[in-house]
């Protein structure tokens, strides 16, 4: 599944601009390594150590544009997601911003204004594919929203498995103000998160809401009081990551697969996905280790095998 979404989009492209755009994304997906993203400027990747070993943090860092989703940003973002996708030692990925008061302000409208109609379509398709790559990461992904998450910024967060926001964060899918619609999966993921009727209200009205309201509606899992450092959501996300870390990594990936695929179909088909996910853990060393640890009354030592 490494480049499945990008490959599919590449095959569906009907013009030279579109095909060349996705060809570049696919090539980077195949070549991305931790070393290759070390010099990233706008999207950084860090592997945590100590008690947080097994957690990777993708940090958005484009302060002059409030982390707007421009071409360079999306290239670096795609490189980071492709590095973590292949790392079986990772158990949690946290997506955060290093820009105080901002998660992601959405599309880079200054850059978008300079695009021709032929360029705009492939670019938005690339943005949508990049967001879907986040949703397709095999391990749990937590979004730490410590500031504005508007338009495409909220769409990126919606692609994550769990969302934590500060109470003063501002969120919204506001594209209808510009006579367009959310193009990075927002119409689909918001409706699945809070129901079609509420999603329609928020999108039709281009409503902006705060972190507390987001938690009440189910847009985020948790809303926490902001601290003086402006990273309260990130600190809460770290605690969530620490809760997830001790669990079996193969089981985490299988559970995510079963929930994601099962939530899109009827219950009978969903149970088939659960069965498929369970079959992935039966023959693992981790399952036997879990049983041994339970019998011996000790913490398990999972290896991801």
Active-site residues, by number, are 107, 152, 155, 175
Q: Helices then strands (H, E): number in the chain?
A: 13, 10
Determine the Cα–Cα distance for residues 40 and 210; give it in Å rounded to an integer.
31
Phi, psi of 87 (to 5 degrees): -95, 105
DSSP state of 250: H
Closest CA to 163 of 138, 146, 178: 146
* Local structure of 93: helix, strand or coil: strand
Query: Which alpha helices (DSSP H) does the chain contain, by range?
Result: 4-12, 16-31, 71-85, 109-113, 117-135, 152-158, 186-194, 196-204, 211-217, 232-244, 249-262, 267-282, 285-296
User: How crowded is residue 288: how many other Cβ atoms within 10 Å of its Cβ?
Assistant: 10
**What tokens appear for 59 in the block?**
């940090």
């Amino acid at each position: 599944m490494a480049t499945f979404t990008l490959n599919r989009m590449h095959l569906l492209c009907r013009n030279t601009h579109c095909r060349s755009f996705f060809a570049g994304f696919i090539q980077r997906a195949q070549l991305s390594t931790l070393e290759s993203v070390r010099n990233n400027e706008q999207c950084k990747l860090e592997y945590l150590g100590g008690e947080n070993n097994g957690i990777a943090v993708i940090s958005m860092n484009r302060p002059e544009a409030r982390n707007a989703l421009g071409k360079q940003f999306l290239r670096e973002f795609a490189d980071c997601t492709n590095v973590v996708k292949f790392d079986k030692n990772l158990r949690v990925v946290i997506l955060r911003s290093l820009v105080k008061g901002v998660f992601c302000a959405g599309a880079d409208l200054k850059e978008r204004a300079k695009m021709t109609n032929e360029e705009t379509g492939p670019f938005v398709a690339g943005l949508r594919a990049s967001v879907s790559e986040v949703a397709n990461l095999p391990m749990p992904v937590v979004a730490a929203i410590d500031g504005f998450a508007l338009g495409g910024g909220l769409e990126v967060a919606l692609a994550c498995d769990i969302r934590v926001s500060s109470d003063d964060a501002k969120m919204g899918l506001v594209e209808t103000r510009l006579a367009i619609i959310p193009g990075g999966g927002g119409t689909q993921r918001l409706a699945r998160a809070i129901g079609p009727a509420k999603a329609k209200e928020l999108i039709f009205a281009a409503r902006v809401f705060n972190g507390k309201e987001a938690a009440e509606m189910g847009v985020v899992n948790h809303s926490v009081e902001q601290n003086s450092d402006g990273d309260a959501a990130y600190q809460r996300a770290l605690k969530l990551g620490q809760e997830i870390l001790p669990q079996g990594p193969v089981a985490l990936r299988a559970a995510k697969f079963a929930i994601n695929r099962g939530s899109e179909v009827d219950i009978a088909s969903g149970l088939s996905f659960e069965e498929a996910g369970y079959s992935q853990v039966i023959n693992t060393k981790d399952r036997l280790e879990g049983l041994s640890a339970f019998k011996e009354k000790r913490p398990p030592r999972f290896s991801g095998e």
